[in-house]
Amino acid sequence: MAWFRKKQEELTVDQLPKELIPKHIGFIMDGNGRWAKKRGMPRRMGHVTGAQTFRKIVKACEARGIRSATFYAFSTENWKRPQDEVDAIMNLLREYLKESLSDFKSENIRTKFIGDRTPLAPDILALIEEAEAETAHKTGLTLNIALNYGGRHELVGAMRVLAERVKAGEMAAEDIDEQCISDTLDTAGQPDPDLIIRPSGEYRTSNFLLWQSAYAEYVFMDVLWPDFSEEHLDKAILQYAKRNRRFGGV
């Protein structure tokens, strides 16, 4: 392994040994608004191009053998944005889901949504349920789309579920451990993210996968999401492969 670490500088992602490829990557798709503003366009155009980038990066993750990828599409705080911007993002999702439903047969992607579905429009909810049901048996990339997602909100939900179980006598308070909390989150059954990529030059987690990211490696990149490319993805994976992950040990 030592020779390998030395040589990593010169390696490309397809030459990395499997154990250095992250199993789960999180993407904070940031910078769409700034990208549009720089071009004198309305903010929603940034999201339109951002959605194209999303499709391209999903395919790139699959091609690189990544097991799970989670994309932060809409946070529990994003409802505060102007209504036309919220509508534009929801319409992009509608469009994506409608198109994907016809592509699902040829792809090996399992699509899942994380986040609170309660306030979503009924037609979006139906499309989400259809997408999840149609792809539940797929064995390739697990694609999580975080929609109306917030890490704190997710944890509050999990705490309530566990409290109800204790109240109903199904478990004791002492039985609550890290595993049962993980199992009660929207990402239950999936590996925690190894790598979280945030483009756009901001250095924040923004309530993304708070519990799951305890030992994630972060790569912050100075590129706006609509300009994010396969090359940026590879650069982030290579940076990750060079990190010395100790998980609190030495």
Farthest CA pair distance, the chain: 59
Of 176 and 220, which CB lies nearer to ligand FPP in the complex structure? 220
110 binds ligand FPP (CB under 6 A): no
- For residue 8, CA distances in Å to 2, 153, 235 come to 10, 39, 12
The answer to whether 192 is a known catalytic residue is no
Instruction: Specify the length of the chain in residues.
Output: 250
209 alpha-carbon distance from chain centroid: 8
Please give the size of the binding site for ligand FPP, defined by CB under 6 A.
Answer: 18
User: Of 30, 144, 148, 186, which residue is the catalytic one?
Assistant: 30
List binders of ligand FPP among 36-65 (CB under 6 A). Answer: 47, 50-51, 54
Report the candidate in 197, 242, 202 with the shortest Cα–Cα distance to residue 216.
197
Query: Pattern of binders to ligand FPP over 127-156, x per CB under 6 A?
Result: ------------------x-----------
The answer to whether 227 is a known catalytic residue is no
The structure tokens 């994630």 sit at 216
List binders of ligand FPP among 169-228 (CB under 6 A). Answer: none
Of 71 and 208, which CB lies nearer to ligand FPP in the complex structure? 71
Report the candidate in 199, 198, 200, 196 with the shortest Cα–Cα distance to residue 215.
196
76 binds ligand FPP (CB under 6 A): no
Burial of residue 78 (CB within 10 Å: 0-12, 13-18, 19+) is middle
Hey, what's the torsion of the CAs at 76, 151, 217, 80, to 10 degrees?
20
100 binds ligand FPP (CB under 6 A): no
User: Of 14, 78, 186, 244, which residue is the catalytic one?
Assistant: 78
127 alpha-carbon distance from chain centroid: 19
Residue 228 backbone dihedrals phi, psi, to 5 degrees = -65, 135
Binding residue for ligand FPP, selected from 20, 22, 30, 120, defined by CB under 6 A: 30
Binding residue for ligand FPP, selected from 73, 109, 114, 131, defined by CB under 6 A: 73
236 binds ligand FPP (CB under 6 A): no
32 binds ligand FPP (CB under 6 A): yes
Catalytic residues: 30, 78
Binding residues (CB under 6 A) for ligand FPP: these are 29-34, 47, 50-51, 54, 71, 73, 78, 89, 92-93, 96, 145
